[in-house]
Amino acid sequence: MEEPLSETAAAELANLAGAHRQAGIKYHGQKTHEKKVLAYLERALPGSFTERELATVCAALVRLDAVKLLRRFLTKGKRAFPRSPLFFISEVDMHLVKGPAKCPFWKIQSLLQIARRLADDMPDGAEREKALEMLQQRELLIPPPALYEGMPFGHALDKLLNMFDGSGEFEDDFDSFGPFSGRRRPSGRR
C-alpha cells in the first residue's frame, strides 16, 4: 500500500535530487529516480505546501531542468504567497540556466524588479536579508539594461543572439526573426 503524499517529503525529495544533479553526482538508476521524484511532485502539486516547501521545490526543479512542472509550482507559489519574492527569484533562475545566448534579459529585469519590491517590503530579519542577498547575486549576472532596452519588440536581442548556434556559426533562421515570424511563408516563396 502506498503512503499518503506529504508536501514535506516532496520538498525533501526534490531538494535531494536537485542537489545530486547540481553537484554532478551520477549513479546507476539516477534518471529513473528523478522521473519518480517528478511524478511524486506532480501528484503532490494540489497539496498544501508552506512557502518554504514550495520555494524548495521550485529551486530543485530549476536544477532538474523540469520547466513545465516548475512553471506550475511557480504559479501555485505566486498565488498562495503573493508577497514572497522567492518565486520570482526561482523564475529568474529558470531563465538564467538557459545561458546568455537564450536568456531573455528583458524579462529577467522585470522579474528582478518585482522581487526587489517584494523583498524590500518584507519585515526586517534573516529571511529578508537572505532574499536580498539572492537578488544581488542574480543582478550581478545580467547585463546592463542599456544593452537590450529600447530594441523593437523587447526580445529582439534574444532573437538575434539565438541566431548563432554557440559556435560562432550563423544559423539560417531568418524567418523566425523577420516579418514572417510565427506565420507560414507566403505561397511562392521558399
Q: Residue ranges of the domains in the chain?
A: 1-81, 83-181
- Positive or negative torsion for Cα 173, 177, 181, 186: negative
Give residue 169's pLDDT band: very low, low, confident or very high (50, 70, 90).
very low
Spell 68-94 as b/e; 16+ CB within 10 A means b: ebbeebbebbbeebeebbbbbbbbbbb
Residue 156, all three cell numbers: 529582439
CA distance 59 to 115: 15
Q: Which segment of 16-20, 91-95, 151-155 scores lowest on mean pLDDT?
A: 151-155
- Identify the pLDDT of residue 145: 64
157: its cell numbers: 536581442
Q: What is the pLDDT of residue 147?
A: 61
Residue 8 has pLDDT above 90, yes or no: yes
Burial letters for 139-166: b for 16+ Cβ neighbours within 10 Å, e otherwise? eeebeeeeebeeeeeeeebbbebbeeee
What gap in Å lies between CA 68 and CA 79, rounded to an integer? 17
Asked which of 6-15, 80-89, 137-146, 173-182 is least confident by mean pLDDT, the reply is 173-182
pLDDT at residue 99, as a whole number: 85
Closest of 104, 105, 101, 128 to residue 117, by C-alpha: 128
Residue type, 4: P
Under a CB-based contact definition with an 8 Å cutoff, are residues 90 and 114 in contact?
Answer: no
- Confidence (pLDDT) at 103: 84
Is the pLDDT assigned to residue 164 strictly greater than 70?
no
List CB contacts of 107: < 8 A, sequence separation 6 or more. 95, 155
- Residue 135's pLDDT is 95
Question: Does position 146 have pLDDT exceeding 90, yes or no?
Answer: no
Confidence of residue 153 (pLDDT cuts 50, 70, 90): very low
- Cα separation of 55 and 60, whole Å? 9
> 114-120 long-range CB contacts below 8 Å, 24 or more apart?
114/85, 114/88, 115/85, 115/88, 115/89, 116/85, 118/83, 118/84, 118/85, 118/88, 119/85
Q: pLDDT tier at 149 (50, 70, 90 boundaries)?
A: low
pLDDT at residue 18 tops 80: yes
Categorize the per-residue pLDDT at 110 as very low, low, confident or very high, splitting at 50, 70 and 90: very high
| Mean confidence (pLDDT) of the chain | 82
pTM of the model: 0.74
pLDDT exceeds cutoff 80 at 98: yes
